[in-house]
Structure 1
Amino acid sequence: MDDPPLSLSERFILKDIERRLRRDPRLRHRMRSGHRVRSYWLPLAVTLLGAASLFLMVVGIRTSDPPVIWAFAGLWPLTLVQGFRLLCRWTEPEHVRSPLR
């Protein structure tokens, strides 16, 4: 690649950015660890939402109580959205994953 050389002000700005990045302890830890820290909140949330949705569905079918049916109707879309996010995370290739997720 034949990029033009950086001007003096561009080199100064680049050095300043590098200095700030070297001072960031979280970035330094991530770079040293070599792997991404996995978050277990999303799988736990999907599991709990799924269990609550299943419970509300069964109780709603058995009792036909409108508040229970409405609670299920409100919780079920949230469960589906979070389940879809989890599925997307599981199917995403390892090298494409964003370190900020």
Structure 2
Amino acid sequence: MTAHRLTAHERRVLAELERDLRRDRRLDRWMRTFRPGPRSLPARVAAYRPRGRTVALLSAVSVALMVSGIVTSEPVVIWAFAAVWPVTLYAVFRLLCRWTEG
């Protein structure tokens, strides 16, 4: 990526913005006392570290829903399986990754 130089006008506008931001006491106080909030949802999902018992329970629920969905053909059961199955696969994947980390 090439570095682009700012024109004189752009430097002047940037300097004015910086000067205005330095004068804003509320912003300055907020920046000094800023505490990051809880992590975002994607960060929490990526940090998920399931236990073996959790994965076993999810697997058992998934198999039970799958079998009952095949036997009864009830849409509610099939949709419940469709909701639980990806979570189960993700938990199994994360557990296997944790076991093979070393």
Give me the TM-score of the superposition, normalised by structure 2.
0.51
Letter matched to residue 74 of structure 1: A
Structure 1 residue corresponding to 2:55, chosen from 34, 43, 46: 46
Q: 5+ residue gaps in structure 1? A: 1-40, 94-101
Please give the residue correspondences for 1:49-68 in structure 2 after superposition, counting only pairs within 5 Å: 49-68=58-77
How much does 1:42 deviate?
A: 1.3
The 2-side partners of 1:42 and 1:69 are apart by: 26
Provide the residue aligned with 1:77 in structure 2. Answer: 86
Structure 1 stretches of at least 4 aligned residues deviating more than 6 Å after TM superposition: none
The 1-side partners of 2:91 and 2:51 are apart by: 7
| % same residue | 60
1:86 paired with 2:90, answer no
Please give the residue correspondences for 1:25-44 in structure 2 after superposition, counting only pairs within 5 Å: 42-44=51-53
State the Cα deviation string for residues 5-61 of structure 1 (Å, max 9, x = none): xxxxxxxxxxxxxxxxxxxxxxxxxxxxxxxxxxxx611110000000000000000
Letter matched to residue 76 of structure 1: W
The 2-side partners of 1:92 and 1:83 are apart by: 14
Give the CA RMSD over aligned residues.
0.9
SS of equivalent residue, structure 2 residue 51: helix
